[in-house]
Structure 1
Amino acid sequence: MNTKPPQTWKCEHTLKGHTASVNAVAIDPQGNILACGSDDRTVSLWDLKTGKRIFTFFGLLNAVFSVAFSPRTPLLVSGDFDKTITCWNLDTKAVRSFSSQSGTNHAHSGYIFSVAFTPDGETLASGSADKNIKIWNIPRWVSTRTLRGHTDTVWSIAISPDGQILASASADKTIRLWRLNSWEEPRILTGHSGWVTSVAIGHQGKILASGSQDSTIKLWNLNTVKLLYTLSGHSAAVWSVAFSQDKQILASAGKDGVKLWNLSKGELLHNLSGRHPIAFSPDGKTLVTGGDGTNLKIWRQYVPVTESAPNPALSGEWYSILGVDKLASPQEVKLAYRRLIKQYHPDLNRSANAKDIMQAINEAYAKFEEEARG
């Protein structure tokens, strides 16, 4: 029998402002800024904590279908329906487009549905309706290589945390794994009966998730290239998959809603009233999803208060508040403090007295540190 998970999710903000469908979302490496690309030909930036709009980039000629933040520099790129990759400087708000080696802005001959940076920020990859993947050198602002092999639209790409593997998902119903260091022939994964619409790499580059038009999600071992298991539960095409960085949850989204899965057991945890696109914050405690048409939703993970988990004392000796023995080792005290933070931090716990409890916990730990210094 499944037990209720200790965490749940609440919609904290609904973001309104776009005048047409939102196609793509991305969260910056610090977890502070949300970027959205829309059919209204704009890219907007939002404060992820407050849900307030920060800035809107105008001037695009067509819809935006993909966005990605550079992991090292204040850059945001968008892949557009006019076959162009546009780069936005977040500090100066300056705009420029990538060029191919021949000097044209239209290196792709089809719509650009996905963009992804390598971890060092030196290389950008883009997947397109022209069936190809292009590799771009960021410092030089040129395309350096084209990866060919797919026989239909490349819907999605993902790059492993070590920057060695690029996974691509295609309407030809296959996934291809490309080695970015050797450029050898890709390994091809088959098994989906419909378009493969989305890929994501998680678990420190060990697992690949793929979503498909066939309404399933498949989990693959990237070392052995073997299928681990298939998740079924969607009633429509799965257009987005995303891993939480704490390695525990996979999110999947389509027009029929958003589902959160327990990766260790392959079990469904939650159904959320969102839709494609989706993105996790770096700490895995915030999830952004599409809403109704032009809206977006920001969901927060929190720990509900239960009768079986009584609140700690708000006054008394530090060890009583932290729930440890007076002679506990410093490591035991630190572990107890961390457990209490996860349970009572106001960002996670929405109970009325969470702030008071957290203040008492912090003061107790400060008293412990003061006595330890002696």
Structure 2
Amino acid sequence: MKTSLVWTLILFTLFTLLPHAAAVNPTKLGLPEGAVARLGMGRINDIQYSPDGQHLAVASSVGVWIYDAQTGEVINLITSTDRIVGGEPDPQASAINSISFSPDGQLLAIGTQGNNIRIWNVKLGRYRHTYWVSGLQSLSFSPDGNILASGGTSIFKIYPETAE
């Protein structure tokens, strides 16, 4: 009798608490006081809002998360398996150093420690173009969005962003 009562209480407790635990948003678990969300995974190297404020891109050692800036919902996750060159996985794929939205917010330049810059089409969710550079540390689009500049170890390069 005691055994069945104990099992009934255990099962009741599990069925009562598990749905609540499963419904908790993992980006909100264990946050310090005043924090509203936990973004990305791994070491975060860069964070950028899109010019219209609709998206937030978080670059890390794992990949780039693109969030809806209003709701915090993940729109896209660009991981190392997304880094493709000519249909083959990119052997130079590595942690993301720097990101930069184009002024219209349609493109996201992604610079990696593997010495490449990828242009990601935010709307279509795919890569548009790849540039190769050594010592990459930072990226920035020109105000008109037609030029992408990169800086790094004693270098500064400019890329025409009209490449299709």
The two structures have a TM-score, normalised by structure 1, of 0.31
Establish whether residue 120 from structure 1 lines up as the match of residue 100 from structure 2: no
Distance 1:114 1:144, change over 3 A: same
Distance 1:86 1:56, change over 3 A: same
One-letter amino acid matched to 1:71: P
Distance 1:80 1:103 in 2: 22
Post-superposition shift, 1:54? Answer: 5.5
Decide whether the 8 Å contact of 1:128 with 1:153 is kept in 2: no
1:231-250 superposed matches below 5 A: none
Alignment match of 2:156 (pick from 162, 168, 175): 175
Alignment match of 2:143 (pick from 161, 184, 187): 161
In structure 2, what is the equivalent of residue 87 of structure 1? Answer: 66
Post-superposition shift, 1:176? Answer: 0.4
One-letter amino acid matched to 1:157: L
Distance 1:116 1:108, change over 3 A: farther
SS of the residue corresponding to residue 36 of structure 2 reads strand
CA root-mean-square deviation: 2.7
State the identity as a percent. Answer: 24
Q: Deviations over 1:97-135 (max 9, x none)?
A: 03456698x897121111001111111101111111000
Distance 1:92 1:103, change over 3 A: farther
Distance 1:174 1:133 in 2: 14
Instruction: Mark the runs of 5 or more structure 1 residues left unpaired by the alignment.
Output: 1-41, 43-51, 184-374
In structure 2, what is the equivalent of residue 229 of structure 1? Answer: none
Distance 2:139 2:104 in 1: 17
In structure 2, what is the equivalent of residue 131 of structure 1? Answer: 115
Instruction: Mark the runs of 5 or more structure 2 residues left unpaired by the alignment.
Output: 1-26, 28-32
Distance 1:103 1:66, change over 3 A: farther
Instruction: Report which of the two structures shows the higher radius of gyration computed on alpha carbons.
Output: 1
Establish whether residue 75 from structure 1 lines up as the match of residue 59 from structure 2: no
The two structures have a TM-score, normalised by structure 2, of 0.67
In structure 1, what is the equivalent of residue 23 of structure 2? Answer: none
Number of equivalences? 127
SS of the residue corresponding to residue 37 of structure 2 reads strand
Distance 1:111 1:57 in 2: 19
SS of the residue corresponding to residue 72 of structure 2 reads coil
Distance 1:63 1:97 in 2: 15
* Deviating 4+ runs (over 3 angstroms): 99-104
